[in-house]
Amino acid sequence: MKHWTELDFQNWLYGLKEQDAHAGECAECRAEMERLQQTRRRVVQEPEVSRDFLAAQRRSIYNRLEEAPRRNWHAWRWVLSTAMLLAIVFGLTLPRWHKTAPPISDEQLFSDLAAMEQSSEPKAIQPMHSLFVQ
């Protein structure tokens, strides 16, 4: 009698083919059926997970959930601190950048200019010049 083909075994394994007379009598085919069945059982079997493993996993998840906001707060704290520091630095330096020369009145400005214009010699040569002036 003819042995089962690979397709026959697959159909049988997934319930699409009934076990026929040959499969019941042929030791070779029965051995193959047994091997396939064990393999399938092993594949579909869910891995055994210990309670300890699950508990540890749960604790890990809870810990991460609790840490998340705290980590965010740490990050925000750094951002806020940096922003405040920058604001202080800018606050202190900006006025200097924009600081212009102190305002000078017309009286002072023109008094200075007149004095400059009326001085006949540079300050640097005054000591030298004074040697020749009685």
Work out which of 21, 118, 131, 132 binds other proteins, going by CB under 8 A. 118
Work out which of 96, 105, 132, 133 binds other proteins, going by CB under 8 A. 105
**In angstroms, rounded to a whole number, what is the distance separating the alpha carbons of residues 27 and 1?**
12
Rounded to a whole number of angstroms, the CA Rg of the chain reads 49
Question: What residues numbered 65-104 form the site for other proteins, per CB under 8 A?
Answer: 101, 104
Question: What residues numbered 30-69 form the site for other proteins, per CB under 8 A?
Answer: none
Work out which of 117, 131, 132, 134 binds other proteins, going by CB under 8 A. 117
**In angstroms, rounded to a whole number, what is the distance separating the alpha carbons of residues 2 and 25?**
12
Collect all residues with Cβ–Cβ distance below 8 Å to 55 and sequence separation of at least 6.
none
| Residue span binding other proteins (CB under 8 A) among the ranges 21-29, 38-46, 89-97, 108-116 | 108-116
Collect all residues with Cβ–Cβ distance below 8 Å to 25 and sequence separation of at least 6.
1
* Chain residues that interact with other proteins, rule: CB under 8 A: 101, 104-107, 109-114, 116-125
